[in-house]
Amino acid sequence: MTTDEVKERLRAYRRIRNECEGLKNRIERKRSDMHYLQAVVSDSTSRGRGVSDSVERAVEKIDGLIRYYAERVAECEEAEQTVLEIIGCVDDPDGRSILFLRYIEGERFEDIADALHISNGTMWSRYNTALKNICSELE
């Protein structure tokens, strides 16, 4: 695996995490919708079966969406864990910190050097060494 491929996998973390959070929010909204519709069904039993049948179908569709979103959340969480494991395989603690701060926390390289109290040159050297370390681990 090349360093560009490793960087792409690491960059994907934030996108995956955002997708996961969005899906969790959708699940909560759909659950709320489903509870509302179930209350409508309970309330509409006196009005006739036609209303409750269509609402029950809507509840079934919402339940299907919730299951789909939950499966995607599980996939996203697995992808997040893979990225964390990739970073964890770096031997050098500073290299691990640089990758974590950059790809997990989204920090700028300049801020990472400041946070670790190292020069930009040292930070870049450790960053590149960490990427090469990952490449050799993943081969």
> In tens digits, what is the pLDDT along the chain, a chain of 139 residues?
788 888 888 888 888 888 888 889 988 988 888 888 777 767 665 555 566 677 778 888 888 888 898 998 898 888 888 888 889 888 899 999 999 999 988 899 999 999 999 999 999 999 999 998 887 777 7
- Nearest in space to 119 (alpha carbons), one of 106, 129, 110, 132: 110
Helix or strand or coil: residue 137? helix
Fold category of 89-139 in CATH: Arc Repressor Mutant, subunit A (1.10.10)
Residue 35: phi and psi, rounded to 5, are -65, -40
Q: Give pLDDT, residue 112.
A: 96
**69 close to 23: Cβ distance less than 8 angstroms:** yes
**20 close to 73: Cβ distance less than 8 angstroms:** yes
The Cα 28–Cα 30 span in angstroms is 5
Both tokens of residue 72? 């995607």
Locus of tokens 């996939």: 75
Q: Domain locations in the chain?
A: 1-82, 89-139
